[in-house]
Structure 1
């Protein structure tokens, strides 16, 4: 039988499988053309990425590959059944949340515009009732204490302090959970959960603020904090940024994140103004605005359900689920060993019995910010990410945490009322929106025209310019209040320059994402949200305490803290390194068989070999091509002669080789590809992790 006839027969007997083409050959064809079987087997393994979580998939393809003609009909039927089951699993797996009961709908493709429209509705619903809820809460407390002004103010301050702490703690504890859920089950799934929780929060507000409800501290705190179960706006922004990162390219990621953040800041800025406008429409009946908020929250939830498509593919979610389940299994195994092992210390047993690891899991997303070494052992990504995180924590936290101290200082210094405070917040919110929507895209376009290159996997000169501008604007913002200490123009200038510093948020997040694994983007954004929640708990009380302690002697002392931190950040930026070579930043998981796949697919049999040793020699002829890419090769034959003594041995050899490649591409695998190959006694290709 000629090679052309074999090729045509094989094509007619080939049927697509979930992992690759399955070729069915007879014993006669197998014995006459062993080199063709080997070539087709290697090309099947190496021509496409392997995602296999069950050993049965490998066994099924192996049995389909080496099947007698007598069993051909049965094999074809089994293979068709497998393909139908795989398609059924593929179509069923994306259905989560409300999608389980709704009929099948054809959603539009994932779009940043649909996301921004829906998120703006939700943010508007939350912010238009901020002032209304504050007024209604104070009215309930004053009615309860029968207009006792001092007792009412004390109770109101207590209520605000307790609810703010609870909201911050819920944000920290739930950000990590939502980060895992968004990676494992999809971004839309998390947005649906947050929408349902927001509806429950709106219903709780309608209950506690109606006229027949009497104020009671603990019940009000409980119902007031129900909406905080969605982990706050920072968590929603983190999920939204993850969605944007999934659907846009690396070159456009920063512009798209800036656009998304501009919509969020603009909605936050106009939300209180819309609430005031609605109160005037309702002739002072602020309670009716709660119905408007409920309507907007229901509209957001339905819009997410029926119009927003998932950004992560099924395979990406399955891969994240596999990685997460492996982590859980390892954690449970360590827990059992610590509790029941005689060698464990008492502290270790108490630690696991009291489930103190649950507390540590709240901060588990922060682990993603500790970037591992590259395949070449470089620490540049880790150092760059840590510097960006430090700038985000200290400077960004100071900008947000000093707002309350600035407002308090202006109220006592310049006798500000609610009108001036509203102006201050409006300048900051609307200014940030305009900067992110207009200034950032225009600046990026201008720099690219000046031959500034945006690097997809490393911080670049464009990012550095944004960070320098951010720090300069922060220093100018707080210095203006010191210069214009006798006039409130300094406070307004502070709000203006703070809004101009909005370059930082998309730049820092985009810079961190460049060094992160694609499997954990949601956890990276969750880690950034956890840091911001931590700073929201620490920074505002810290600045208020500094101002209260120095109000009589040196009231502007707290303004020097962000100036000093920004100056130190300018020094830290000098240690950020820009790396243009992608190979130097390649992660361990990317260094397995990328170059090997390309060369092995180009392998061709020039002469017809007669023995298995000839086949191995033809494989070894690729040594020169592979060594041109600095991949060391050993000369041990890939298959020994005993491997070709029968069909069963060939099947076992193929399964072993297939399993080695499957294991090397599994997320839970922590060993290098070299260790996996040695475990299978295949030592022909010695590919170290440093490739």
Structure 2
């Protein structure tokens, strides 16, 4: 057989026997028994296929490796031969990730109410200082504090939350792409530890502000937002968890893996507030909730450091470092200031507008529209949460326990939609409506697009209910309706990844992470500003604006076309392996 490139029908991922030997400089091949590939292992029509090797044969060829609990990874066999407890799997990451999301969900409402209480104290103290005849009831931590349901207090709280969100979000948008790139060179675990350290530092500052309110100003909590943003915040942590799943899960099962992480996220957000609310009710103070959050972060960091296997093998890390070194050999690594230039800041978004062979205007339109719908949905979720908490206190007088119960009910319904209704729709619903259970691996089909459109419409109806609810029961019912719109997020991300080849999935997720970080800044900025300007006048105005945003997302979703995707280029893989071989040879 010649040493030319093998035909496409042999597949780019055939396993090569490890014991090929060369004789002299003539390129003669001595075949060993391991070189024979039976039909069951990739041979064609029962014949025995043997891959030739020559001077251009890659030193590392892509293989399929089985990880813990039977998953198949598209790693290059780097984990073959290792014991089960050293093989990466999403099931290593899911339990501690759930613990982390429980801590994240548990401290959200108490932290917002702590900020409300601290700012309320400060607001009335300023009023008394300006007018010696002004009197007010003492503001007590952990109590309802009816006097804090003042429009001036609500406006100042909204401005404070806006400042914290902008600080954390802007810093996260700057560092998230860099942390993602670092994870390619130094492993996922190290960077996930870093992001959790930022959240850990923020909670430490919050505890000191709560424990010593007369010494430490509430504005020190903004320093906690700085630490959180500098370490990437929870957005980067989520993206890195998805990267871990991508490393050890094949494309055909990646949507299931993402669904597991979404389920863990909302399960944690559902259970966390219940636990936090119970702790607050029993102890009469919010401090133990933050202690619980810190303990969860410490445990997660310890498990990452000593128990969870790294999903990115050492050889791939070294290869990525060498590629980075060679790429910047002449010009040197880019400076931090250069990344602040608009052209460089938005560089990761180029994946959403592919050009060249295989691309088309329909593909670019789909990617842009899908990313827009995903970003709008995420932005509304980010902008709405803080508004819902302070609005429910202002309109209905809900305390921390009631708010935690509301969030738990809503997110329990969301988890039910993600883990029960969505799988049933993908299985039985698809078979009933289309007559088949086949799921396209490239592009999206009409059934998936309809799930996205219906989910966005459900969100729209839920937020429309928020706008007109004048009592707590109707407000809760609206939240339950909106929660089932959460089925659109994993479907959106799954459809997006099927528009590009597997080797570009990480780049695509990085672009989405950047958009999410920007949405986390822009959306709360706009909606907190609207609430601050309209509270006490026509307070539901902000929910009308949120409803209009979802309706815009629904209108965009109507323009998504099925069966459009960027085909995988075989030449790209061969060039990529050849470049890897050259780097290894020179290292």
TM-score by length of 1: 0.62
Going from structure 1 to structure 2, the CA distance change for 1:382 and 1:194 (only over 3 Å counts) comes to: same
Residue 414 of structure 1 contacts residue 487 of structure 1 at CA under 8 Å; is this kept in 2? yes
Q: Does residue 467 of the first structure (1) align with residue 452 of the second (2)? A: yes
Residue 258 of structure 1 contacts residue 440 of structure 1 at CA under 8 Å; is this kept in 2? no
Residue 166 of structure 1 contacts residue 225 of structure 1 at CA under 8 Å; is this kept in 2? yes
Q: CA deviation at 1:180?
A: 0.9
SS at match of 1:308: coil
Going from structure 1 to structure 2, the CA distance change for 1:146 and 1:452 (only over 3 Å counts) comes to: closer
Residue 184 of structure 2 contacts residue 317 of structure 2 at CA under 8 Å; is this kept in 1? yes
Residue 258 of structure 2 contacts residue 490 of structure 2 at CA under 8 Å; is this kept in 1? yes
Q: CA deviation at 1:406?
A: 5.3
Task: Give the aligned partner of residue 122 of structure 1.
Answer: 100
- Per-residue deviation, residues 636-670 of structure 1 (Å, max 9, x unmatched): xxxxxxxxxxxxxxxxxxxxxxx9983598799xx
SS at match of 1:301: helix
Task: Give the aligned partner of residue 261 of structure 2.
Answer: 260
Task: Give the aligned partner of residue 170 of structure 1.
Answer: 171
Going from structure 1 to structure 2, the CA distance change for 1:475 and 1:289 (only over 3 Å counts) comes to: closer
Task: Give the aligned partner of residue 86 of structure 1.
Answer: none
Residue 371 of structure 1 contacts residue 516 of structure 1 at CA under 8 Å; is this kept in 2? no
Q: CA deviation at 1:267?
A: 0.7
Q: CA deviation at 1:472?
A: 2.2
Going from structure 1 to structure 2, the CA distance change for 1:593 and 1:215 (only over 3 Å counts) comes to: closer
Task: Give the aligned partner of residue 419 of structure 2.
Answer: 437
TM-score by length of 2: 0.72
Unmatched 5+ residue regions in structure 1?
1-16, 53-89, 95-103, 336-351, 595-658, 669-691
Going from structure 1 to structure 2, the CA distance change for 1:280 and 1:108 (only over 3 Å counts) comes to: farther
Task: Give the aligned partner of residue 64 of structure 2.
Answer: none
Going from structure 1 to structure 2, the CA distance change for 1:219 and 1:489 (only over 3 Å counts) comes to: closer
Task: Give the aligned partner of residue 69 of structure 1.
Answer: none
Aligned with residue 383 of structure 2, among 374, 389, 401: 401
Q: CA deviation at 1:473?
A: 0.7
Q: Distance in 2 between the 1:330 and 1:297 partners?
A: 41
Residue 451 of structure 2 contacts residue 488 of structure 2 at CA under 8 Å; is this kept in 1? yes
Q: Does residue 542 of the first structure (1) align with residue 526 of the second (2)? A: yes
SS at match of 2:85: coil
Residue 375 of structure 2 contacts residue 515 of structure 2 at CA under 8 Å; is this kept in 1? yes
Task: Give the aligned partner of residue 242 of structure 2.
Answer: 241
Residue 116 of structure 2 contacts residue 157 of structure 2 at CA under 8 Å; is this kept in 1? yes
Unmatched 5+ residue regions in structure 2?
1-15, 36-49, 62-75, 130-138, 140-152
Going from structure 1 to structure 2, the CA distance change for 1:513 and 1:549 (only over 3 Å counts) comes to: same
Task: Give the aligned partner of residue 109 of structure 1.
Answer: 87
- Per-residue deviation, residues 242-296 of structure 1 (Å, max 9, x unmatched): 2222222333222221121111111112222212322345x33543444333322
Q: CA deviation at 1:429?
A: 2.0
Q: CA deviation at 1:158?
A: 5.8
Going from structure 1 to structure 2, the CA distance change for 1:279 and 1:263 (only over 3 Å counts) comes to: same
Task: Give the aligned partner of residue 586 of structure 1.
Answer: 567
Task: Give the aligned partner of residue 409 of structure 2.
Answer: 427
Q: Distance in 2 between the 1:203 and 1:554 partners?
A: 37
Q: CA deviation at 1:447?
A: 4.1
Task: Give the aligned partner of residue 193 of structure 2.
Answer: 192
Q: Does residue 312 of the first structure (1) align with residue 312 of the second (2)? A: yes
- Per-residue deviation, residues 87-144 of structure 1 (Å, max 9, x unmatched): xxx99x99xxxxxxxxx99734322232111112222233333444455556666777
Q: Distance in 2 between the 1:258 and 1:271 partners?
A: 19
Residue 128 of structure 1 contacts residue 272 of structure 1 at CA under 8 Å; is this kept in 2? yes
Task: Give the aligned partner of residue 605 of structure 1.
Answer: none
Q: CA deviation at 1:44?
A: 0.8
SS at match of 2:298: helix
Q: Distance in 1 between the 2:539 and 2:206 partners?
A: 39
- Per-residue deviation, residues 372-403 of structure 1 (Å, max 9, x unmatched): 44x34434433221110111123442344244
